Amino acid sequence: MTEGNSLSELDKQIMLIIQFVVTETIKIKLERDFVEEDLKEMEAKLVAAEINLKNIRKKKILNKNVLDKLIAECSSILAEVRTAIRELPFTFNKEVDQPAPSSSKKPTRKYTRKRAAKRGPGRPKKAQ
């Protein structure tokens, strides 16, 4: 009886892992704009899933071919996630390097008068 229960638990575990792997694959194929934290979280989950599958394979309960295919799928998704993580900082830096358009504009006359008023009457004007 206990073995039957453990098998069904194992089946549930495997189904969850398969479902996770499939959903992550779909996510990666559909969305290419991930935040770095999301990618690192996905990487951690996939590593855990891969380890779980390898542990299940060691117990030799299930068909080895099925597990091998799942592990291969898992590692291919992991590779995609890791390449996406590697490419991330470069896209971030491109956005950061460009100055904000508001900062490149010259301040309005009203704004400079305000600044001059704050400086007080005894100080010299700021060179322009």
Residue spans per domain, the chain = 2-97
**Cβ–Cβ under 8 Å, residues 71 and 57:** yes
**Local mean pLDDT, 10-residue blocks, the chain (128 residues):** 54 73 66 64 75 73 70 75 66 44 55 63 64
**Helices marked H in 1-128:** 2-30, 36-59, 64-97, 101-104, 109-119
Determine the Cα–Cα distance for residues 20 and 46; give it in Å rounded to an integer.
8
pTM above 0.75, yes or no: no
Task: Report the alpha-carbon distance of residue 36 to residue 86 in Å, rounded.
Answer: 10
Residues in contact with 24: Cβ distance below 8 Å, sequence separation at least 6, in sequence order: 42, 45, 46, 77, 81
